[in-house]
Amino acid sequence: MPETRLRSDVDRLADSLGKLPEPAASPSFIAVSGLPGTGKSYLCARLAERLPSIILESDTLRKVLFPSPGYRQPESARLFRAIHLLIERLLRRGVSVILDATNLSEKFREHLYSIADRLNVRLVLVRVEAPPELVRERLAARQGKPGTTSDADWAVYQKMKDTAEKINRNHYVVDMSGDITPVVYKIVKEASR
């Protein structure tokens, strides 16, 4: 990808974020992973209520760069190259980041590990789960609903389910079918250390 287009993509994503939280001396970086419909965005919103941070939601950012997304590999590669550079830019400025993306592959998570290691920033990894019947209900309920940024449906969930890889580093597992308050506090405490 030409460097100028990549910089332009990062700038477009940054411009779409709105007001950023105040910079911190030690910004935190939380990466939330999980299949579509498991509750990633809800968890990210709950975390952001307790931790001044910006949520980078991949579905929303994809539509900034691709108003009619095709969800093909070259499009995703371009999107995530820009997201990774944006994460790095924000963390360097002291802005805490919560990444809301499926992040199902260890190969893709390696980029996040690399950013955190390079910048010496604590990375808190979170995997979100929910029972399939609950996911199916959620995905059906949000189809065509105004304000929904994800285009994933049950067929996408089924297809992606087989690609989810184990996270090879310490991480939190959040079952979104119950009360998540205790684990939200643990994650915020870990990110704030």
pLDDT in tens, the chain (193 residues): 578 999 999 999 999 999 999 999 999 999 999 999 899 999 999 999 999 999 999 999 999 999 988 888 999 999 999 999 999 999 999 999 999 999 899 999 999 999 999 999 999 999 999 998 988 888 888 776 666 677 777 888 888 898 889 999 999 999 999 999 999 999 999 999 8
Residues 6+ apart with CB under 8 A from 181: none
Q: For the chain, list the strands marked E by DSSP.
A: 29-33, 54-57, 97-100, 123-129, 172-175
The residue range of the domain holding 47 is: 3-192
Measured distance CA(13)–CA(88) in Å, rounded: 13
Asked if 185 and 44 touch (Cβ cutoff 8 Å), the reply is no
Q: At what angle do helices 40-50 and 181-192 cross, to 10 degrees?
A: 60
CA angle 134/135/137 to nearest 5° reads 65
Counting the structural domains of the chain, the total is 1
pLDDT of residue 25: 92
List the one residue out of 109, 149, 114 whose CA is nearest residue 126: 109
pLDDT of residue 12: 97
Measured distance CA(70)–CA(68) in Å, rounded: 7
pLDDT of residue 56: 98
Measured distance CA(35)–CA(102) in Å, rounded: 6
pLDDT of residue 106: 93
Measured distance CA(36)–CA(142) in Å, rounded: 11
Measured distance CA(156)–CA(69) in Å, rounded: 14
List the one residue out of 191, 182, 177 whose CA is nearest residue 34: 177
The CATH number given to whatever domain includes residue 108 is 3.40.50.300
Measured distance CA(7)–CA(96) in Å, rounded: 21
